[in-house]
């Protein structure tokens, strides 16, 4: 019996696949092609329904599921079949699908890189999870950019649903619509994407996750301040790491009282401006916003207006710096603040028990020793509005001792030091 060694080694070779493909070929459309092939096979008895929804129909040899079978048998027709399928997709009557695949350059699909593409799309049968993995890897590997890893995005969206029903959703710095696809339910979402690639990837992510384009408004532009006055009940956003542009400086005059020119702070002020009366914000920021003097006015605003709800110390691995998760809530029932400091094995990777502890502490507003603590307003003010979780969550082990015991131990140590000094002095005199 022949053993397929290639399949067994696929996991360890994944990064090598991306390095060989390089930046010229986007792998995401092939995941979408596989999704559409599976959908057509599911609706094989009613292809008219498939044609109506997706605007095309594959011939059998163009189904990626069949091409993969040929590829596993090393048949030579795989490349021409893939290009034929791409041509069908580019002529789809569904405008989203046509737009997605019109960006794929057939000439850059070669026999060599097709081998790596096939290995990647066979890596996992769960296409929603594979999308996150592929998109993160090809972005970080090809472009050498720092992207917040998918588990962090999922965590933000899950936090937004605790004790809160999502209706109108807003993300002005969306990464491929990941914040939306991590939600179980929402009525409508408004997303801004920073470039063409993110915009197209967002469309594919929504398609693979079965989210209708009617439920999501996508805008292909990067914004720091949204001039739209619309309000939202749920805001989840990861700010882009960028400096203020020249044309932004006139827009931020309305925030002058906060004495800040940090893009992170301006981004947060923009989010607050778009909260409705039932609004909740889950976002990330850096340590700078929590401790630096130029952000004190903003921190004071969060405390005095009782907007701040939770601060979570979260090492996401983003730019090798700590990332802080902030939860703001306009409907807080208490006037205190929850600080959470979980442990991390690796950047961005929490043990399942740690993640569940975050949810438990937040949902029940519960103090967990060495993990979370509730701090009142007076203590925050006493600390000059410092919001660093390390200041409020005590993670060190300590043992209570009476002053008498401590003094006795100190005396014993002092006596022992004197004895040693005398011994050393005696040794030196014998020389």
- DSSP, collapsed to helix, strand or coil, labels residue 21 as helix
CB 202 within 8 A of CB 213: no
How many whole angstroms from its chain centre is CA 359?
17
Angle at 25 between CA 22 and CA 31, to 5 degrees: 120
Q: What are phi and psi of 177, to 5 degrees?
A: 65, 20
**Measured between alpha carbons, how far is 228 from 404 in angstroms, rounded to an integer?**
66
- Can you give the pLDDT of all 431 residues of the chain as single tens digits? 333 334 434 445 788 888 888 888 999 999 999 999 999 999 999 999 999 999 999 999 999 999 999 988 888 899 999 999 999 999 999 999 999 999 999 999 998 899 999 999 989 889 999 999 898 888 776 665 566 777 788 999 999 999 999 999 999 999 899 999 999 999 999 999 988 999 999 999 999 999 998 999 999 988 888 889 999 999 999 886 566 665 666 667 777 788 677 888 888 999 999 999 999 999 998 888 899 888 899 999 999 999 999 999 886 544 445 578 999 999 898 999 999 998 765 555 667 788 899 999 999 999 999 899 999 999 999 999 999 998 999 866 556 678 888 888 888 888 888 888 888 888 877 76
CA–CA distances in Å: residue 60 to residues 13, 52, 67, 82, 258: 30, 18, 9, 12, 62
Q: Which helix (H) or strand (E) element contains residue 189? A: strand 188-193
Q: Which helix (H) or strand (E) element contains residue 405? A: helix 403-430
CB 94 within 8 A of CB 54: yes
Longest C-alpha distance within the chain, in Å? 105
Residue 372: other Cβ atoms inside 10 A: 24
Q: Which helix (H) or strand (E) element contains residue 381? A: helix 377-382
pLDDT of amino acid 2: 34
pLDDT of amino acid 266: 87
Helical H runs in 144-273?
A: 150-160, 178-181, 196-208, 246-251, 263-273
How many residues does this entry show for the chain? 431
Q: Which helix (H) or strand (E) element contains residue 193? A: strand 188-193
- DSSP, collapsed to helix, strand or coil, labels residue 385 as coil
Provide the Cα torsion 159, 164, 169, 172; round to 10°. -40
Residues 6+ apart with CB under 8 A from 91: 56, 98
Taking the CA atoms of the chain, what radius of gyration do you get in angstroms? Answer: 28
- DSSP, collapsed to helix, strand or coil, labels residue 140 as helix
**Measured between alpha carbons, how far is 331 from 230 in angstroms, rounded to an integer?**
19
Neighbouring-strand partners of residue 329: 280
**Measured between alpha carbons, how far is 64 from 82 in angstroms, rounded to an integer?**
7
Could you say which DSSP state residue 253 is in? G
- DSSP, collapsed to helix, strand or coil, labels residue 247 as helix
Q: Which helix (H) or strand (E) element contains residue 19? A: helix 14-21
Closest CA to 103 of 220, 239, 7: 220
pLDDT of amino acid 320: 41
**Measured between alpha carbons, how far is 36 from 344 in angstroms, rounded to an integer?**
38
Taking each helix axis as running N to C, give the angle between helix 352-364 and helix 150-160, from 0 to 180 degrees, rounded to the nearest 10. 20
pLDDT of amino acid 319: 46
pLDDT of amino acid 240: 66
């Amino acid at each position: 019996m022949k053993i397929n060694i290639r399949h067994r080694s696929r996991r360890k070779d994944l990064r090598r696949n991306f390095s060989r493909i390089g930046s010229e070929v986007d792998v995401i459309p092939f995941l979408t092609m596989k999704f559409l092939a599976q959908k057509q096979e599911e609706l094989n008895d009613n292809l008219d329904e498939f044609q109506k929804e997706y605007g095309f129909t594959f011939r059998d040899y163009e189904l990626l599921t069949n091409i993969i079978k040929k590829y596993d048998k090393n048949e030579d027709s795989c490349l021409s079949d893939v290009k034929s399928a791409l041509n069908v997709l580019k002529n789809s009557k569904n405008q989203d699908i046509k737009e997605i695949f019109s960006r794929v350059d057939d000439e850059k699909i070669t026999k060599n890189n097709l081998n790596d593409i096939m290995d990647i799309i066979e890596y996992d049968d769960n296409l929603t999870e594979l999308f996150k993995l592929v998109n993160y890897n090809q972005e970080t590997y090809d472009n050498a950019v720092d992207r917040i890893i998918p588990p962090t995005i999922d965590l933000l969206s899950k936090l937004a649903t605790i004790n809160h029903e999502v209706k109108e959703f807003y993300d002005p710095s969306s990464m491929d619509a990941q914040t939306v696809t991590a939600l179980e339910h929402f009525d409508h979402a408004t997303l801004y994407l920073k470039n063409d690639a993110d915009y197209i990837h967002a469309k594919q992510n929504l398609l693979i996750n079965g989210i209708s384009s009617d439920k999501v408004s996508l805008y292909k532009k990067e914004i720091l301040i949204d001039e739209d006055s619309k309000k939202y009940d749920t805001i989840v956003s990861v700010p882009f790491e960028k400096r203020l542009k020249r044309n932004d400086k006139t827009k931020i005059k309305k925030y002058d009282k906060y004495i800040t020119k940090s893009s992170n702070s301006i981004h947060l002020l923009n989010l607050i401006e778009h909260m409705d009366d039932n609004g909740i914000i889950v976002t990330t920021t850096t340590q700078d916003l929590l401790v630096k003097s130029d952000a004190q006015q903003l921190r004071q605003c969060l405390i005095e207006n009782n907007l701040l709800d939770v601060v979570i110390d979260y090492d996401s691995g983003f730019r090798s710096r700590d990332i802080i998760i902030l939860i703001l809530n306009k409907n807080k029932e208490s006037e205190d603040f929850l600080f959470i400091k979980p442990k991390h094995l690796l950047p961005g990777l929490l043990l399942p028990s740690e993640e569940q502890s975050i949810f438990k502490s937040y949902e029940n507003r519960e103090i967990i020793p060495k993990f979370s603590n509730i701090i009142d307003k007076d203590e925050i003010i006493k600390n000059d509005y410092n919001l660093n979780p390390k200041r409020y969550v005590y993670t060190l082990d300590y043992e209570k001792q009476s002053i008498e015991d401590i003094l006795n131990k100190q005396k014993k140590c002092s006596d022992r030091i004197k004895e040693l000094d005398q011994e050393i002095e005696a040794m030196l005199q014998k020389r």
